[in-house]
Amino acid sequence: MTDADTIEPRASASVPSAGSGAALSRIEPRASASVPSAGSGAALSRIERVFREEYGRAVAVLVRVLGEIDLAEEAVQDAFTEAVRRWPGTGLPPSPAGWIITTARNRAIDHLRREATREARHAQAALIHQPDGEPEEGPVRDDRLRLIFTCCHPALSPAAQVALTLRLLGGLTVPEIAHAFLVPETTMSQRLVRAKGKIRDARIPYRVPEEADLPDRVKAVLAVVYLIFTEGHTASSGDSLTREDLCAEAIRLGRLLADLMPDEPEVLGLLALMLLTEARRPARTGDNGDLVRLAEQDRGRWDRGLILEGQDLVRRCLRRDRPGPYQIQAAINAVHSDAPDTAATDWRQIVQLYDLQMALGPTPVVALHRAIAVAEVDGPARALALVDALDLPTYHVYHAARADLLRRLGRAGEAAQAYDKAISLTGNAAERVFLRRVRQGLPGLDTAP
């Protein structure tokens, strides 16, 4: 157990929003009493921004320098604690990241000397000591990329990959990650300890994979980031604050990846997909928290800034002409975001994009979404024939889509049965409420079988 793991979480009840205070409490929850109050609010929020932006960078550099994850985390945590104490009085240094990294490195050396009871420890302290004025910014970009590939190594379980990425690159605390994924803190803590132990003992390398392995390894990294995003977007329960935090964190990681690997079109595709999905968040839930379907959303509430950014990324992908699943899903979302309403949506183009996705990697889920788009072009009867040919008996979206098509064809009895099936299969409370509401609106249900 390191100090970093035992730092108190932010008390979720006392922090009303994901805004100021959240990141700082990751550093030093009891600091507020000891920090000078006069004019320190702005300084604290600047420190908080530095924490969010630079935590992963600092850990990545320190892991390379120290060759050990726990020690690196502890040192960076110490450096931020020192910053919270010092910066409100002195103001931020010219290069906050450089200051954090240098301070963390010096702390780590001090720590190793203090703990040095064996000769080997002395040797390690000597090894990592670098002369003053050593440039800190040089290999930093690569360090973060190294850390990402280590966290998302395929020899680690997907759950461990997600936890490590959020902890080491995002700087989220163990309780925060546990809360977001609805597992007990001890479980999450054990998961992280076990994963870090495996990285250390099995020698999972700290490097960017070789060219030949890169496509598969990038795919694994993108899967982790998208898993974080979808968990935030459609979490089955948990409070909405945590969910939004996860989406924001996934987008932050997506931006980092796009910055580090600008020539990988799928990296840009994933970022575009997340931005275009996130843009609809304000319209996705009604006043009482109910789910609002795409067709009924108030598109005036969509975030135009995110849409423009996402569409721009989609255009950049199109120019590269190396399509992949994330790019195609982003393009589909870009088509939706162009239209003022469902009727004006270019459904033909959406069907074509699904055709492309089926050509790259046919799956029943993609075929289902293609069929839903076909309903808008060729009518619900054609779409129902396509849906009925699919084998997705335990997927709630399959039954919900079937129910909707049956409803539109006036087959209320069969629609009700399909809605019941969908309701029983979905784990999402808002979706259940929505499906019940539509089911109750079916005409002539009393005559249904």
Partner 1 sequence: MTQYLLSVFQPDGEPPAPEILDPIIRGVEALNRDMREAGVWVFAGGLCAPSTATVLRAKDSDVLMTDGPFVEGKEHLGGFTIIEAPDLDAALAWGRRMAQVITLPIEVRPFKEGYGPE
Question: Is the CB of 195 or the CB of 435 nearer to partner 1?
Answer: 195
Per-residue b or e along 120-144, where b marks 16 or more CB atoms closer than 10 Å to that residue's CB: eeeebbeeeeeeeeeebeeebeebb
- Which residues, including other chains, have CB under 8 Å from residue 391's CB and lie 6 or more apart? 364
CB of 187 to partner 1, least distance (A): 24
**Residue 291 DSSP SS3:** strand
Long-range contacts of 240-244 (CB under 8 A, 24+ apart): 240/289, 241/12, 241/17, 241/18, 242/12, 242/176, 242/179, 242/180, 243/180, 244/18, 244/281
Q: Which amino acid is at 242?
A: T
CB of 68 to partner 1, least distance (A): 13
Question: Is the CB of 13 or the CB of 212 nearer to partner 1?
Answer: 212
The CA distance from 100 to 89, in Å, is 16
Sign for the pseudo-dihedral over CA of 199, 200, 206, 209: negative
CB of 204 to partner 1, least distance (A): 5
The CA distance from 325 to 365, in Å, is 13
The CA distance from 30 to 21, in Å, is 12
Question: Is the CB of 5 or the CB of 143 nearer to partner 1?
Answer: 143
Task: Report 130-189 residues binding partner 1 (CB under 8 A).
Answer: 153, 155
The CA distance from 189 to 370, in Å, is 41
Identify the CA nearest to 149 among candidates 222, 232, 227: 222
The CA distance from 404 to 292, in Å, is 15
Task: Mark the segment that binds partner 1 (CB under 8 A) among 107-115, 195-203, 298-306, 315-323.
Answer: 195-203
CB-based contact 351:373 (threshold 8 Å)? yes
CB of 125 to partner 1, least distance (A): 20
Question: Is the CB of 201 or the CB of 263 nearer to partner 1?
Answer: 201
- Kindly determine how many residues on this chain lie close enough to bind partner 1 according to the rule CB under 8 A: 9
CB-based contact 108:62 (threshold 8 Å)? yes
**Residue 285 DSSP SS3:** strand
Number of alpha carbons in the 13 Å side-chain half-sphere of residue 186: 0
CB of 158 to partner 1, least distance (A): 17
Task: Quote the radius of gyration of the chain (alpha carbons, Å).
Answer: 25
Task: Mark the segment that binds partner 1 (CB under 8 A) among 20-28, 201-209, 298-306, 395-403.
Answer: 201-209
CB of 156 to partner 1, least distance (A): 10
Task: Fill in the per-residue mask, 400 to 429: x = in contact with partner 1 (CB under 8 A), - = not in contact.
Answer: ------------------------------
The residue from 202, 318, 339, 359 that contacts partner 1 (CB under 8 A) is 202
CA distances from 418 to 86, 290, 400, 415, 432 (A): 62, 21, 7, 5, 13
The residue from 205, 289, 361, 364 that contacts partner 1 (CB under 8 A) is 205
CB of 264 to partner 1, least distance (A): 20
* Neighbour tally for 37: CB within 10 Å: 9
| Structure token digits, residue 269 | 């595709």
- Which residues, including other chains, have CB under 8 Å from residue 233's CB and lie 6 or more apart? 243, 247, 277
- The verdict on 308 binding partner 1 (CB under 8 A) reads no
Question: Is the CB of 214 or the CB of 283 nearer to partner 1?
Answer: 214
Task: Mark the segment that binds partner 1 (CB under 8 A) among 20-28, 126-134, 205-213, 387-395.
Answer: 205-213
The residue from 203, 319, 344, 444 that contacts partner 1 (CB under 8 A) is 203
The residue from 17, 34, 135, 201 that contacts partner 1 (CB under 8 A) is 201
The residue from 21, 96, 170, 209 that contacts partner 1 (CB under 8 A) is 209
Task: Mark the segment that binds partner 1 (CB under 8 A) among 46-54, 74-82, 198-206, 393-401.
Answer: 198-206
Task: Report 212-231 residues binding partner 1 (CB under 8 A).
Answer: 213
CB of 203 to partner 1, least distance (A): 4
Task: Mark the segment that binds partner 1 (CB under 8 A) among 196-204, 331-339, 387-395, 405-413.
Answer: 196-204
Question: Is the CB of 10 or the CB of 217 nearer to partner 1?
Answer: 217
Task: Mark the segment that binds partner 1 (CB under 8 A) among 204-212, 241-249, 314-322, 393-401.
Answer: 204-212
CB of 195 to partner 1, least distance (A): 13
- The verdict on 399 binding partner 1 (CB under 8 A) reads no
DSSP state of 238: S
- The verdict on 204 binding partner 1 (CB under 8 A) reads yes
Task: Mark the segment that binds partner 1 (CB under 8 A) among 50-58, 125-133, 199-207, 400-408.
Answer: 199-207
- The verdict on 57 binding partner 1 (CB under 8 A) reads no
- The verdict on 389 binding partner 1 (CB under 8 A) reads no
| Interface residue list for partner 1 (CB under 8 A) | 153, 155, 201-205, 209, 213
